[in-house]
Structure 1
Amino acid sequence: MPFVVQRNGVAATADELAPLAFAGYAHFTAVQVRDGRVRGLDLHLERLRSASLEMFGRALPDDRVRSYLRTALRAGPADVSLTAAVYSPAGEFTVAGPEVEPGMLIRTGPPATGPGGPLSLAAVEHERELPGVKHVGEVAKTYRLRQAVAEGFDDAAFLDRRGRLSEATIWNLAFWDGDSVVWPVAAMLTGTTMGVVRRRLDHLGVPQRSAEISLGDLPALAGAVVMNSWSPGVPVRRIGPAALPEAPLFVSHLHRAFASEPALPL
């Protein structure tokens, strides 16, 4: 069965997509769908809703968003990668009030699981604009990724102006101190997988805490991972100059926590 590109619940035409191909004022969420079901659906809906209010001053109703998602899934396989983007028909470089209703683009593709790791991450100073919004057009992410690979790394992790680790290019970071999961404190995008893992770790009784983490703190830690919609935990063996030990128990906790979240139909 085919994968789809749909706009507001119907197949998108070239005429509809052409102006969007040259625009960059939108936000999105990325989902791995398995057997037609999604983990953390409430977090994806909240992400789309809050980002729309931030960027456009209004949001599509959740029931309509779910309807668009169901329509896209009915047109293809039960296992897909799905990206749902919300944009303003007014485009970018314009002023549009909340009377302009946002539109939604949905694209499906082959399911993905991400790299197996362990990964090495370059440490670069970078702070995302609107860090709490998963918005499009972030040229710095791809640029930093390509720079990191050219330097012999697999990807890049970001340091803010205070030297705190925040996130990676398309990933959240998490650390292990030998007993607790440690979440970095800095301005960042809170990922949906991160949200699922955090609440399920609480349910499973695995300790977790938050702390500011610099490169100088890494030698005292017992492991690190990156996570996003592909995976709740890909091991990291190095960030910048600091090597990190393998932490199979840590990775197991994260994967077990994510798997314990009920997968819900749309």
Structure 2
Amino acid sequence: MTSFVVHRNGRAATAEDLAPLAFAGYAHFTAMQVRDGGIRGLDLHLERLRSASLEMFGQALPDDRVRSFLRAAVAAGPADLSLVATVYSPAGEFTVAGADIELEVLVRTGPAASGPEGPLALATVEHERVLPTFKHVGEVAKTYFLRQAVGQGFDDAAFVDRRGRLSEASIWNLAFWDGTAVVWPEAEVLGGTTMGIVRRQLDRLSVPQRVREVTLADLPTLAGGVVMNSWTPGVALRRIDSVPLPEAPGFVELLHRAYRAEPLTSP
């Protein structure tokens, strides 16, 4: 028997609950790592769910209700686990549900994850996500371009917008090191929760940060690069397309140190 769960609104989900969702694609979610029963950046996850719900459905569930669903799932599993919380309307897609139809939350837990070791090689592809600032479901392009990149001998894909700017990778934010400051690519991207954690902790550590456009032509001027997501605050990159990036163990350790400085919060 597994100690992980699939909950709908805080209770074990049935096949009847899940069947309609298996054929739907209008929802949004957040993914997190739970350690010792606590979550780093819980406020960022709650804000992400709240703002996306307001944009996509015109309403949002109270934070304390969402926390109760997270708490039930965390309490049912081991101290360390992965958790995904998905918000959707029971009215389904291809409809405009009224405010009288309350949103629902599907929570799934699984084994704790820490991401690949790296360093990784990324293949670029011109792609701009729809509603890029929201973490929504049904993005077939992410997996499609990942598979294409792996088929070409790379580890994953990085996206370049129509202006030639690097934005993000398939399921990752990008970050670079210029020798003195952390560089965040300026483009339309999903502001990751791990990215948010790292940025505010770097501020507290008085580490310089810059947001600027980064193109392939800029890479030779940089001193290192990483990808980050809910699994990890930093996996080193070794190249993007044919452009090598220098190893920067100090940069990777800095990001991990900033992430570890974020306190764990119980849901």
Q: Partners in 2 of 1:211 and 1:80 — Cα distance?
A: 35
Aligned to 2:40: 39
Deviations 1:155-193 (A, max 9, x none): 000000100000000000000001100000000100000
1:252 Cα deviation from its structure 2 partner = 1.1
- The separation in 1 between residues aligned to 2:217 and 2:74, in whole angstroms, is 46
List runs of 5+ in structure 2 lacking aligned partners. Answer: none
Partner residue, 1:248: 249
- The corresponding residue for 2:151 is 150
CA offset at residue 60 of structure 1?
0.6
What's the % identity of the aligned pairs?
A: 73
Distance, in Å, in 2 between the alignment partners of 1:100 and 1:57 is 11
Q: Which residue of 2 aligns with 1:97?
A: 98
SS of the residue aligned with 2:125? strand
Amino acid at match of 2:3: P
Number of equivalenced pairs: 266
For 1:15-26, what aligned pairs fall within 5 Å after superposition? 15-26=16-27
Query: Over residues 197-253 of structure 1, what are the superposed CA-to-partner deviations in whole Å (9 max), with x where a residue is unaligned?
Result: 000000011111110011111111110000001000000011112110001111111
Cα deviation, residue 98, structure 1: 2.8
Counterpart CA distance in 1 for 2:80 and 2:194 is: 18
CA distance in structure 2 between the aligned counterparts of 1:71 and 1:95, rounded to whole angstroms? 30
Aligned equivalents of 1:135 and 1:240: distance in 2?
A: 27
RMSD: 0.7
Give the corresponding residue for 1:189: 190
Residue 30 of structure 2 aligns with an amino acid whose one-letter code is T
Say yes or no: does 1:123 pair with 2:130: no
Q: Give the drift of 1:73.
A: 1.0
Could you give the per-residue CA deviations for residues 142-165 of structure 1, whole angstroms, max 9, x where no partner exists? Answer: 000000000000000000010000
Aligned residue for 1:136? 137
- Distance between the aligned counterparts of 1:217 and 1:116, measured in 2? 25
Secondary structure of residue in 1 paired with 2:31: strand
TM-score normalised over the length of structure 2: 0.98
Question: What secondary structure is seen at the aligned counterpart in 2 of 1:201?
Answer: helix
Counterparts of 2:98 and 2:224 in 1: how far apart (Å)?
A: 47
Matches within 5 A, 1:165-180: 165-180=166-181
- Tell me, in whole angstroms, the C-alpha distance in 1 between the residues paired with 2:187 and 2:98: 31
Q: CA deviation at 1:96?
A: 1.5
User: What TM-score comes out, normalization by structure 1 length?
Assistant: 0.99
Superposed counterparts of 1:13-92, under 5 Å: 13-92=14-93
Structure 1 residue 97: Cα displacement:
2.6
Q: Secondary structure at the match of 2:153?
A: coil
Q: For residues 101-136 of structure 1, what are the alpha-carbon distances to aligned partners after superposition, in whole Å with 9 as ceiling and x for unaligned?
A: 110000000000000100000010000000000000
Q: Matches of 1:8 and 1:141 in 2, distance apart?
A: 28
SS of residue in 2 equivalent to 1:258: helix
Q: Which amino acid aligns with 2:102?
A: E
Structure 1 segments unaligned to the other structure (5+ residues): none
Letter in 2 for 1:215: L
* Deviations, residues 65-103 of structure 1 (Å, cap 9, x unaligned): 000000111111111100000001111111223332110
* Alpha-carbon distance in structure 2 between the residues aligned to 1:42 and 1:163: 33
CA distance in 2, matches of 1:169, 1:149: 12
Distance 2:58 2:168 in 1: 27
